[in-house]
Amino acid sequence: MKTLRIALWTTAAAAAVVLVAALLYVTVGSKAGSIGGPFRLRSATGELVDSVSLKGKPYAIFFGFTHCPEICPTTMMDMAALMARLGDEAKGLRIFFVSVDPDRDTPAVLRDYLAAFEPHVVGLTGTPDEIAQVAKEFRVYYRKVRLTGDDYTMDHSAFVYLMGSDGNFFDVLGYQEAPDRALAKLKRLIETDRKGSAL
């Protein structure tokens, strides 16, 4: 009996380790993983922004929605503050806010919403299919959750993905990551531009 119990516990522990590893892989990804890929969206001002046109310059990309009371404005505030701290170094680094709620976040709504974070943040939107595509490429989870009546909110991944000038995934900023650590990551990201694709 004792042996069986040990065997069961060992199996359970191994399963837990595998599960945690899988979760980490899915949510954070690995540096060698394939976060990012082909996508095609429109900026809030109507300009076409796709993975091809973005190649050659580093960028940061976040997925949110305007009916988001906390995470989204806070993250955009943090990004704007980091860009201000970077000053001239921030030139050439673009920050994108992709709406995972294209039904309500029209280009006009996004433009107004992001005006508070100008000139640092560019809003991106697209058709529901285009949003699904870009979310899949970045392994972003989002889901509509009903509230009362016709209201709904969105569950969504709250990471900021940093993409190098070679178009590859570089690093990730967690929600409210310590500003100094986030700043250091952005500086390294900008370095990828200077060094070209040699990481």
Partner 1 sequence: MKSMLTSAVLAAVLAGATTAASAGGITLAHPWSRATPAGAPVGAGYVTLENSGSTADRLVSATTDAADHAEIHEMAMNNGVMQMRPVKEIEIPAGKRVELRPGGYHVMFMGLKHQLKVGDAVKGSLTFEKAGTLPVEFKVEAMGAGADRASGQGAH
Tokens of 57: 């310059």
Binding mask 21-60 for partner 1 (x = CB under 8 A): --x--xxx--------------------------------
Binding mask 69-88 for partner 1 (x = CB under 8 A): xxx-xx-xxx--x-------
Give the C-alpha separation, 163 to 171, whole Å: 7
- Is residue 58 within 8 Å of 163, Cβ to Cβ? yes
Widest CA span of the chain, in angstroms? 69
Q: Does 119 bind partner 1 (CB under 8 A)?
A: no
Binding mask 6-25 for partner 1 (x = CB under 8 A): -----------------x--
- Is residue 44 within 8 Å of 122, Cβ to Cβ? yes
Give the C-alpha separation, 183 to 171, whole Å: 12
Q: Does 114 bind partner 1 (CB under 8 A)?
A: yes
Q: Least distance to partner 1 from the beta carbon of 40, Å? A: 25
Q: Does 66 bind partner 1 (CB under 8 A)?
A: yes
Which one-letter DSSP state was computed for residue 40?
E
Q: Which of residues 143-172 bind partner 1 (CB under 8 A)?
A: 145, 147-148, 151, 153, 155-159
Q: Can you tell me whether residue 134 is helix, strand or coil?
A: helix
For 169, the enclosing helix (H) or strand (E) is strand 169-173
Residues that bind partner 1 (CB under 8 A): 23, 26-28, 66-71, 73-74, 76-78, 81, 104, 109, 112-117, 141, 145, 147-148, 151, 153, 155-159, 174-180
